[in-house]
Structure 1
Amino acid sequence: MFLETVDQFATIATTKAAFLRRSPVGFWISSMMAGAYVGLGIILIFCVGANVDPSIRPIVMGASFGIALTLVIFAGSDLFTGHTMFMTLGWLRRRTSLRDLATCWGASWAGNLAGCVFLAAIFVAGGGGLALAGKSPLILNIAAAKMNAPALELVARAMLCNWLVCLAIWTSARMTNDTAKCIAIFWCVYAFIGSGFEHSVANMTLLSIALLAEHPPTVTLGGLGWNLLWVTIGNAISGAGIVGLGYWTASRPPAEADATPQPRKGEVLVKAETIGVSMPEVLVRKGVYAWMPPLPAIPGIELAGTIVE
């Protein structure tokens, strides 16, 4: 049920690792773009949410953040939180190495941070718009709270956040209609913003804006490091351990699936060389033996395989 998507993401992991080896500068720029795209979403939600009644603020801000992940997916870029899932699946499917995983995680995280800081500097230099207007801007209050939150709370909220972000990527990959993809992305990011969860890349822009603007003593560089440390850990746990490992485990066939099945009358034994080929009452996987009617008797099905008997 999930094998096709797992293999699709494992292939993406292979492509990302090759991209980083072939063009480190290109990968860095792509990662900076991802950070900036998420940052644009953060700027938007704080501009529209600054003067909204607190009782409906989460609704308004959550409904405005969809632009961030929509740009990341449709424009193309390298987002750290998505890579926690991609690279894990690539390693679990033995398409990439642990070194590939570590370098892609590190390079995408650093590139995301650079893009976020760059965007934050431009935004603050431009006056900060509605996000920094007034005596006590909402963005500064939120930043101070994030910088001084307990580690366990940050990790837990970060796990919930990237669970939703990776689900947005996962579900959109299983759809063929672009409108449906946008709707899936919207609901997943709406849930994490509206619930107040923690996204490391989103926080990079938010906290950088707070530091670069005139801020209270509760907003510090050490607070930025504290927040990003625990939020990054939480994001990685859910992206790799919950979504990545979870769907990889769910897609694995049971142990008995590799045993040679018993034939029915008129069937021949075939060793499949393709992946995920649907047959009547059986799902053929690469390297698995299956009994089925002779291949010429299966109209409309293209199966690359070897007839054993």
Structure 2
Amino acid sequence: MNTETSKTTCMASPAEISQIGEDAGVYKASKKQILSFFSAIPAGAFIALAFVFYTTTQTGNLGTSWGLTKLVGGVVFSLGVIMVVVCGSELFTSSTMTTIARASGRISRFQMLRNWIVVYFGNFVGALFIVFLIWFAGQTMSANGQWGFTILTTAQHKIHHTWFEAFCLGILCNVMVCLAIWMSYAGKTLTDKAFIMILPIALFVASGFEHSVANMFMIPMGILTAHFSAPEFWQVINMDSQQFADLNLYHFIVKNLIPVTLGNIVGGGFCVGLALWSINRPH
């Protein structure tokens, strides 16, 4: 049996993966963008729910290994990206790889940028939907308020990077996210696709890299918790609300969302998408 043929029955070859990625980019940018918007809403919700799962694993972990705790958080967060892929939703960070469809000349620059904007705002809607569901569900009071305290400290940490640090963390994050998506193209079964994405996603989450869509949940959740929690919340966690006064829209957008989004575009669209496509596509 031919060795190459044997390999491709188990997984797509690098050249085939490049073609799949290019075709996916063409499909995303060419279809009716109202469909992309509505497809992006559940993707934003899936990533937000994954951060809910992450937050739960990081709550009340005093005395445990920092690294192992982060590993657990990263592994459970991978569920969000798995749901996005399996359910066929559109996620901004992976949609940055439509750069390869643009490089091949199969879509226009306008189509590419339009898709990014539509999906970005659809993801934002989905993430905020989960923010409000979690808020009105009273989840921040879980574990005697420690769940909400985890939200506060995580969100506050994210707005205290320098602009360039946030940009670089955004690049690193989307390198891993898009590598996870790229490798999932090689899979021939649901198990293949889901399993191969776990560790790349766990790497970026455990390492503290920055994902724009995840932050659309985490930081607004932190802002709500910081400014609208009842006095009982502050009493049970024994903290002063003024310690989190810097959790506001200005710091969210200017100090985090803008540089992280730009970094995500560079990491996914150029460092992974264009790089791997240029190397592996049939010439």
| Alpha-carbon spacing, 1:135–1:238, altered in 2? closer, same or farther (3 Å) | closer
Query: Percentage identity across aligned positions?
Result: 29
Q: Which residue of 2 aligns with 1:205?
A: 217
Q: Which runs of 5+ in 1 are unaligned?
A: 254-284, 286-309
Counterpart AA for 2:133: I
Q: Does the Cα contact within 8 Å between 1:131 and 1:137 map onto a contact in 2? A: no
> Hey, what does 2:116 align to over in structure 1?
105
* Pairing 1:214-253 to 2, within 5 Å after superposition: 214-215=226-227, 216-226=244-254, 227-251=256-280
Looking at structure 1, the residues matched to 26 and 259 of structure 2 have their Cα atoms a distance apart, in angstroms, of 28
> Which residue number in structure 2 is paired with residue 177 of structure 1?
189
- 4+ long deviations beyond 6 Å: none
TM-score, normalisation: structure 2: 0.83
Mean CA deviation greater in 234-243 or 11-20 = 11-20
Aligned residues: 250
Q: CA deviation at 1:136?
A: 6.9
Structure 2 CA distance for partners of 1:49 and 1:15, relative to 1, 3 Å: same
Taking the aligned partners of 2:192 and 2:115, their CA distance within structure 1 comes to 29
* Structure with higher RCO (Cα < 8 A, 6+ apart): 2
- Structure 1 position 178, deviation (Å): 2.1
Residue in 1 that maps onto 2:37: 28
Amino acid at match of 2:146: G
Structure 1 residue 52 corresponds to structure 2 residue 61: yes
Q: Which amino acid aligns with 2:93?
A: T
Contact kept in structure 1, 2:171 and 2:267, CA below 8 Å: yes
Give, in angstroms, the shift of residue 251 of structure 1.
Answer: 2.4
How far off its partner does 1:3 sit? 2.8
1:182 shift after superposition: 1.6
Match of 1:137 in 2: 149
* The structure with more radius of gyration: 1
Following TM superposition, by how much is the alpha carbon of 1:27 offset from its aligned partner in structure 2, in angstroms? 1.9
For 1:124, the equivalent position in structure 2 comes to: 135
Structure (1 or 2) with the greater strand fraction: 1
Query: Which protein is richer in helix relative to its size?
Result: 2
Segment of structure 1 superposing worse, 177-186 or 87-96 = 177-186
After superposition, the C-alpha distances for 1:81-129 in whole angstroms (9 at most, x for unaligned) are 00001x1111111111101110001111111111111110111111025
Cα distance change on mapping 1:125 and 1:235 into 2, 3 Å:
same
Distance in 2 (alpha carbons) for counterparts of 1:66 and 1:250:
27
Cα distance change of structure 1 residues 211 and 88 upon mapping to structure 2, 3 Å threshold: same
Which residue of structure 1 aligns with residue 202 of structure 2? 190
CA distance in 2, matches of 1:49, 1:73: 25
> Aligned equivalents of 1:79 and 1:88: distance in 2?
15
